[in-house]
Chain A
Amino acid sequence: MSVNVQIPAGYVPVYTRPRSLSEARFTYCPGCHHGIITRLVAEAIDELGIQERTVGVAPVGCAVFLYEFFRCDFAQAAHGRACAVATGIKRANPELIVFTYQGDGDLAAIGTAETVHAANRGENITVIFVNNQVYGMTGGEMAPTTLPGMRTVTTPEGRDVRATGYPLRMSEMLAQLDGPAYITRQAVFDVRHVQMAQKAIIKAFQNQLEGKGFSLVEIVAACPTNLHLPPAEANRWVVEQALKYFPLGDLKVRD
């Protein structure tokens, strides 16, 4: 923690900044759920004590700077290719704990094939899938998970499902496959859900440690900037709108 504050005697730490996070400031917008999720991944790495053997695969999108936020080795994947890059790393050195961290455009639009086939192979990797229903980094375009009627810069009149189709439920799709060991959909719009999401992310990494195969944690998240809502209201929007299309819960658990 770069803050050098004298902690008065008698106080013990309850929550401190995850060790596997670097000193770099997050580049996410104020209130962006990416920041919470990035922190949860770091907490899981700390919890399992795997920082020195973890390799992350960063996407192209709002989390493109992920490698700057962690004290782990990282690979920067081309847009959509993280699951293929992760496959290459894992196959080359199965001792490494490999995770990808991808947005909805990265994983469910351009990277659909790489995601589906990594899942179908039961690739022993951990995938963190941040579904905030928009392309944030590039200025708020429609994503495969954009809700019907939802305004984005490429659906100025609201998403017309007849022209662009329906929100894509990747977790349900992947849960049909035999390959994956764990597919779950979580959220981080309040503390209770943050705690549940943390448990799910730890489980997804634990599965990899135990060689159980492909684990994916989808997190229905908010992009306050492109929702044009203050962070607290964006969180409410997740509950009132997004969860209608993306129900939370485990979709596949293989023990």
Chain B
Amino acid sequence: MPKGLVIIDKERCKGCGLCVAACPFGVLAVTSELNRYGYNVAKATAPEKCTGCAMCAQMCPDAAIEVYRMAPAKEGV
């Protein structure tokens, strides 16, 4: 299971690509998939590389991205 998880709201995304440019690990890409409004939507095409740094979410001009991270395993439990 990758360390991070990116959830992109397909209908909010306008395919601007700023998240793709912001992602240091090449997790995201603007795909040929269209949303209801005819925008090419961004997706996590390499989700396994995601660290959950959330830089994509901080860059998104449509507040379309939410990011989760694997909770650290409890030591000694």
Nearest Cβ on chain A to B45's Cβ, whole angstroms: 17
Query: B62 — which chain A residues lie within 8 A by C-beta?
Result: 25-26, 28, 35
Q: Is A56 an interface residue (CB 8 A)?
A: no
Q: Is A1 an interface residue (CB 8 A)?
A: yes
**With A3-B9, A191-B22, A195-B58 in contact, is A15–B16 under 8 Å at CB?**
no
- The distance in angstroms between the C-alpha atoms of A163 and B7, with both chains bound, is 50
A30 engages B14 (CB within 8 Å): yes
B59 engages A232 (CB within 8 Å): no
Q: Is A92 an interface residue (CB 8 A)?
A: no
A15 engages B58 (CB within 8 Å): yes
**With A7-B5, A8-B1, A25-B12 in contact, is A1–B66 under 8 Å at CB?**
yes
B57 engages A26 (CB within 8 Å): no
Query: A10 — which chain B residues lie within 8 A by C-beta?
Result: 1, 70-71
Nearest Cβ on chain B to A132's Cβ, whole angstroms: 12
B16 engages A13 (CB within 8 Å): no
Chain B interface bracket (under 10, 10 to 19, 20 to 34, 35 or more) = 20 to 34
B4 engages A14 (CB within 8 Å): yes
- The distance in angstroms between the C-alpha atoms of A36 and B60, with both chains bound, is 6
- The distance in angstroms between the C-alpha atoms of A35 and B18, with both chains bound, is 12
- The distance in angstroms between the C-alpha atoms of A231 and B20, with both chains bound, is 11
B18 engages A16 (CB within 8 Å): no
Query: A35 — which chain B residues lie within 8 A by C-beta?
Result: 60-63
**With A1-B9, A190-B22 in contact, is A13–B61 under 8 Å at CB?**
no
**Contact residues, B16-75 vs A (CB, 8 A):** 16-18, 21-22, 39, 52, 54-55, 57-63, 65-71
| Candidate in B16, B22, B71 with the most chain A CB atoms within 10 angstroms | B16
B16 engages A7 (CB within 8 Å): no
B55 engages A191 (CB within 8 Å): yes
- The distance in angstroms between the C-alpha atoms of A176 and B45, with both chains bound, is 50
| Candidate in B5, B61, B67 with the most chain A CB atoms within 10 angstroms | B61
B58 engages A12 (CB within 8 Å): no
B1 engages A25 (CB within 8 Å): no
B57 engages A30 (CB within 8 Å): no
- The distance in angstroms between the C-alpha atoms of A31 and B40, with both chains bound, is 13
On B, residues with C-beta under 8 Å from A are 1, 4-5, 7-12, 14-18, 21-22, 39, 52, 54-55, 57-63, 65-71
A-B contact pairs, 7 of them (CB 8 A): A1-B9, A3-B7, A14-B52, A15-B57, A31-B14, A39-B63, A191-B22
Closest 7 CB pairs of A and B: A35-B61, A31-B16, A30-B14, A11-B68, A30-B16, A15-B57, A15-B54
